[in-house]
Amino acid sequence: MGKPTGFIEYSREVNLSISPRERIRDFCEFHIPMENSERQKQSARCMNCGVPFCQSGELFGGMYSGCPLHNLIPEWNDEIYRGNWKQALARLRKTNNFPEFTGRVCPALCEAACTCGLNDLPVTVHDNELAIVEEGYERGWIQPRIPAVRSGKRIAVIGSGPAGLAAADQLNQRGHAVTVFERDKRPGGLLMYGIPNMKLDKRVIDRRIKLMEEEGVDFKTGVNVGVDVPADEILNEYDAVILCCGSKTPRDLPVPGRDSGGVYFAVDFLSDATRRLIGEPVTSDETAKGKDVIIIGGGDTGNDCVGTCIRQGCKSVIQLEMMPKLPDERAETNPWPQWPNVCKVDYGQEEAVAVFGNDPRIYQTTVKEIVKDEDGNIKSVITVKLEPKKNKKTGRTVMKEVAGSEQELECQLLLIAAGFIGCQDYVARSFGVEKTPRGTVATKDGDYSTGVEKVFTAGDARRGQSLVVWAIAEGRECAKQVDEFLMGYSNML
């Protein structure tokens, strides 16, 4: 695949980015596409490795590495190298409904498993994927695909995040009539409201939604199923229902002073930031402008908060991480093709370094108490250091407070980005489905049915907080099971 000697002749080159100090002036995407001639050289680096771990999507050492969608990566890299962009698009769309999303926000599990990365830097699979789909849009190759025959079956998809969209797309292409219910004003779920515009421009989502509507998918927005519309009504009208309502119950911070003003869940803060950009009403007028901001959580959502707060003009920003700092390079106990447990500097941290002169992350630290001012608003936080201790009974390592390590930090805006603990209770209750101890909708392993007749589930609602690429994979697999349920067989991939 690619050029036999390409991995020797060409070095890895990624898309260039607008400098941090320039890009923080707005919420626009900041990566600069590479010329096609240069992109072909990057695709030429794809080796004829024999066993393409990149498309495996398997567990290695307890962590997934490789593409969960099993994208045909060597095949479309070869097509790019040979200048066959339309064929590359055809191979890409065979396994991925929305490469314009994953090509922007996926952390590239495929690149972690790239054989070229064993002794050198991996192939730029992530950038290559985005180049293919955008070439397809630009050249007019991506047009509505309207099914020639309809089955007469009706399916309701509850939630329009990546899992719901993938399931809807698959089932609509099969010829079923699909209605997607979304409680927000615009479709997209996490893609629209949870991911900042500089990572995923909302026009990219609108473009895909318009295409799906032209193909026959019906979107009903501003409808909160289980509140505005009873679940029984949905069950009576549709032949199958898929719950793709996400994992939207945020993990809270149970500390003294939690009821202070100026304390928000990160997802609510990010959603309001997007609503301001697209001209929708916000739930709070609070922004980071002129404030000392502290973010609890060192993951992707915490990083998105850093980038958003800097763009809003914060006075300072700190990101607290409970766990120790990961090594800068792979440890010997973390060999390829396992996912590399290494410390990365994401775009938000890069911007913080450019603006404030230092990485915003403080490791092995959490908030112990929130201090209020006389008006009941947050004025500072008391932090405490943590250290790993092994539980003698369970053998698990847990983080324990270090006595006497408390410190007071000024803070007028505290954002909780500590993850999520499952789907919201009212959705599960309304359809009568059971939940697991983790808060997800209960199913058997490898199964997407809930135990309630004709009710299925996929995405974060089923697997818990995860990646966009996993949500798409779940939506596709769930759609196949629904198709089998309705038709007695399925020809879906």
Residue indicated by tokens 């099971």? 481
Mean pLDDT on 59-66: 88
- Phi-psi sector, 373: left (phi>0), alpha (psi -120 to 50), beta: beta
What pLDDT does residue 391 have?
A: 84
Instruction: Check pLDDT > 90 for residue 304.
Output: yes
Same fold, 6-138 and 263-416: no
**Which CATH number, 3.30.565.10, 3.40.50.720, 3.60.21.10, 3.50.50.60, labels domain 154-248+421-487?**
3.50.50.60
pLDDT in tens, 245-273: 999 999 999 999 999 999 999 999 999 99
Query: Structural domain boundaries of the chain?
Result: 6-138, 154-248+421-487, 263-416
Secondary structure class of 115 (helix, strand, coil): helix
> If you write DSSP's letter for every residue of 429-489 in order, what string do you get?
HHHT--B-TTSSBP--TT--B-SSTTEEE-THHHH-S--HHHHHHHHHHHHHHHHHHHHS-
In 3D space, the residue among 31, 107, 41, 301 whose CA is nearest the CA of residue 193 turns out to be 301
pLDDT of residue 262: 98
Model confidence at 70: pLDDT above 90: yes
Q: Are 402 and 387 in contact (CB under 8 A)?
A: yes
Cβ–Cβ < 8 Å for 416, 250: yes
What is the spatial distance between Cα 174 and Cα 217, in angstroms, rounded to a whole number? Answer: 12
Q: Which run of H or of E encompasses 386?
A: strand 378-390
Cα distances (angstroms) measured from residue 47 to each of 41, 57, 58, 362, 439:
12, 18, 20, 40, 42
DSSP-derived 3-state class of residue 340:
coil
Query: 66: number of CA atoms within 13 Å, CB side?
Result: 20
Res 233: pLDDT? 97
The CA distance from 221 to 252, in Å, is 28
Lowest mean per-residue pLDDT among 69-78, 199-208, 215-224, 327-336:
327-336
Does residue 111 sit in helix, strand or coil?
A: helix
Per-residue model confidence (pLDDT) at position 60: 87
d(CA 304, CA 319): 11
| Percentage with pLDDT > 70 across the chain | 100
For the residues 78-98, what does the mean pLDDT come to? Answer: 97
CATH number assigned to the domain with residue range 6-138, chosen from the 4 options 3.40.50.300, 3.40.640.10, 1.10.1060.10, 3.40.630.10: 1.10.1060.10
- The mean pLDDT of 174-200, rounded to a whole number, is 97
DSSP category for residue 282: P
pLDDT at 395: 83
Chain centroid to Cα 366, Å, comes to 24
Q: Is the peptide bond prior to 337 cis by the omega test (within 30 degrees of 0)? A: yes
| 1 pLDDT higher than 70 | no
Q: What is the per-residue pLDDT for 486?
A: 98
CATH class for the domain made up of 263-416: alpha beta
pLDDT, tens digit (0-9, with 9 covering 90-100), for 407-444: 999 999 999 999 999 999 999 999 999 999 999 999 99
The whole-number average pLDDT for the span 42-63 is 90
- Does the pLDDT of residue 357 top 90, yes or no? yes
**What pLDDT does 303 receive?**
97
pTM for this model (two decimals): 0.96
- Say yes or no to pLDDT of 294 above 90: yes
